[in-house]
Amino acid sequence: MLEISIFSILALFMLGGSIAMLVNKQTLFSAFGFLVAMIGLAGMFALLDSRFLALAQIMVSVGAVVVLSMLTILTINAKEENLPHEPNKYKWIAFASLLVLPITLLIYKSTSALYASFATMQTINSKVVGKLLFSEWVLPFEIVSILLLSAMVGAIVIARKDVVQTQGEES
């Protein structure tokens, strides 16, 4: 009973946050909705007994990703006239929802037909995750570290100022 109520509150947070992200015109309010959705997702991970995953979600998704995107939004500081002009936004959203609804039902039906109950197990704490990460999953772990390094270098190269200028001179 307690789990169901916690789940409903968290699901309400997540759905409300993501819908607020979807419909807001101001970009910063969209980012706040996204923040609420990510915190709700961390709570869901904790509810699913993945403690280390909940911590990583809070640290990376909330603490780094959302804060970085908010900083970028505030740095760009797009004025009202620079925001995209979307006169019939709600019509598009309703149309796309109708279009996506069969996909939703398909995903839900195909996943929920697989398993009907949870397995009884101990909580997944950092000890279990660390043992798995350094024995079975050590190659993906190393590949992810190389990916992160190359993404950082690529982000620095893309966001440099003279990339735009040389392209402008060529064209």
Partner 1 sequence: MTPELFFLLSSVLFSIGLVGLVARRNLFVLYMSIELMLSSVNLLLATFSKVLGDASGSVIALLMIAVIAAEVALFLALIIHMYRSSRTIDSDTFDRLKGQIND
Within positions 6 to 35, which residues make up the interface with partner 1, using CB under 8 A? 7, 11, 14-15, 18-19, 21-22, 27, 30-31, 34
Interface with partner 1 (CB under 8 A), residue from 166, 168, 169, 170: 168
Residues 129-148 that bind partner 1 (CB under 8 A): 129, 132-133, 136-137, 140-141, 144, 147-148
Rounded distance between C-alpha atoms, residue 126 and residue 51, angstroms: 7
Q: Cβ of residue 109: shortest distance to partner 1, in angstroms?
A: 9
Contacts of 55 (CB under 8 A, 6+ apart): 126
Is residue 17 within 8 Å of residue 34, measured between CB atoms?
yes
Block residue for tokens 């910063």 = 28
Q: What are phi and psi of 92, to 5 degrees?
A: -60, -40
| From candidates 80, 120, 166, 170, binder to partner 1 by CB under 8 A | 120
We find the least distance from the C-beta atom of residue 36 to partner 1, in angstroms, to be 12
Contacts of 19 by beta carbon, 8 Å cutoff, 6+ apart: 33
Min dist. Cβ of residue 84 to partner 1 (A)? 4
Select from 84, 166, 169, 170 the one that contacts partner 1 (CB under 8 A). 84
